[in-house]
């Protein structure tokens, strides 16, 4: 089955720790995205990548980092600089076809809690 | 800049009643609009999308939405609510042609009463 997987489903972090959230897709999509979801605020874009070895900051990139070494993978690291990291994190991917608005496909999410 | 406003963070309907979830957008260029549904602790699933082909768009699970340029609206409707429709619904607008970037509204939680 083609799709997007995120792991772990639940993650607990102590203050001052970095943690990495995994996102893998087998849809052969060029573009991948990371969103943060907080109650009542919808989804906010953290980072996105349109091709391998390239990525761009979204609206709330501070305290986060990403890499895109492989087309299938787009891991997100939540660093200790992120002061309020408790949230639900969603990864998405989409085809990249010029002039066509392709929908984004979402993974099941990772819920991060800071202890 | 693109923006989306969803009126009503919570909507409650009785089973069998009409569902109406409101979405208004702001865009300086012709928009592309999407409705997604999210069940608890899950990712988002696409319900339907408007890409300028037709103003009335039919989606999955009996939902449809109508693009009204004069009202800058893209409201989501379903004639008869089912208990299984209880979820959070997000309206989104595409910001540009490159990267399929989306701007999301704040979401509307739909509750269905028996």
Average pLDDT, chain B: 91
Nearest to A37, CA basis, from A107, A115, A103 = A107
Question: Is the Cβ of A90 closer than 8 Å to some Cβ of chain B?
Answer: yes
Whether the CB-CB separation of B91 and B104 falls below 8 Å is answered with yes
pLDDT at A41 over 80: no
pLDDT at B75 over 70: yes
pLDDT at A6 over 90: yes
Give residue A98's pLDDT.
62
The answer to whether A42 contacts B106, with C-beta atoms less than 8 Å apart, is yes
Give residue B12's pLDDT.
98
The answer to whether A31 contacts B99, with C-beta atoms less than 8 Å apart, is yes
Read off the pLDDT band of A1 (50, 70, 90): low
Give residue A96's pLDDT.
76
Q: Which of A73-77, B33-37, B97-101 has the lowest mean pLDDT?
A: B97-101
- List all residues 6 or more positions away from A40 whose beta carbon is below 8 Å from its beta carbon: B9, B106, B107
Residue A56 sits at φ, ψ, to 5 deg, of: -130, 150
Question: Is the Cβ of A110 closer than 8 Å to some Cβ of chain B?
Answer: no
Average pLDDT, chain A: 92
Read off the pLDDT band of A103 (50, 70, 90): confident
> What are the Cα distances from residue A61, in Å, to A4, A100, B13, B35?
22, 27, 38, 25
Mutate to test the interface with B, among A104, A108, A112 (most CBs of B within 10 A): A104
pLDDT tens, residue by residue, A55-84:
999 999 999 999 999 999 999 999 988 889
Percent of chain A's residues with pLDDT above 90: 76
DSSP B44: E
**What average pLDDT does the segment A35-40 reach?**
89
Give residue B92's pLDDT.
93
What is the C-alpha separation between A82 and B50, in angstroms, rounded?
A: 36
Mutate to test the interface with A, among B42, B43, B94 (most CBs of A within 10 A): B43
């Amino acid at each position: 089955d083609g799709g997007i997987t995120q792991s772990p489903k639940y993650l607990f972090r102590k203050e001052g720790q970095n943690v990495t959230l995994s996102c893998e897709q087998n849809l052969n999509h060029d573009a991948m995205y990371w969103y943060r979801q907080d109650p009542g605020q919808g989804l906010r874009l953290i980072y996105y990548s349109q091709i391998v070895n390239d990525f761009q900051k979204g609206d709330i990139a501070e305290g986060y980092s990403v890499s895109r070494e492989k087309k299938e993978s787009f891991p997100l690291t939540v660093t200790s600089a992120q002061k309020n990291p408790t949230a639900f994190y969603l990864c998405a991917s989409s085809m990249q076809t010029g002039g066509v608005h392709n929908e984004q496909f979402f993974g099941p999410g990772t819920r991060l809690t800071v202890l | 800049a693109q923006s989306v406003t969803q009126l009503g963070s919570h909507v409650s309907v009785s089973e069998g009643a009409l569902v109406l979830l409101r979405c208004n957008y702001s865009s300086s260029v012709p928009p592309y609009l999407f409705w997604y549904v999210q069940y608890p602790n899950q990712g988002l699933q696409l319900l339907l999308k408007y890409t300028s082909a037709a103003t009335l768009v039919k989606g999955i699970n009996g939902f449809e939405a109508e693009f009204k340029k004069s009202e800058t609206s893209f409201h989501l409707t379903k004639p008869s609510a089912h208990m299984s429709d209880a979820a959070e619904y997000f309206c989104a607008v595409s910001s540009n042609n490159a990267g399929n970037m989306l701007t999301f509204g704040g979401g509307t939680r739909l509750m269905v009463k028996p």
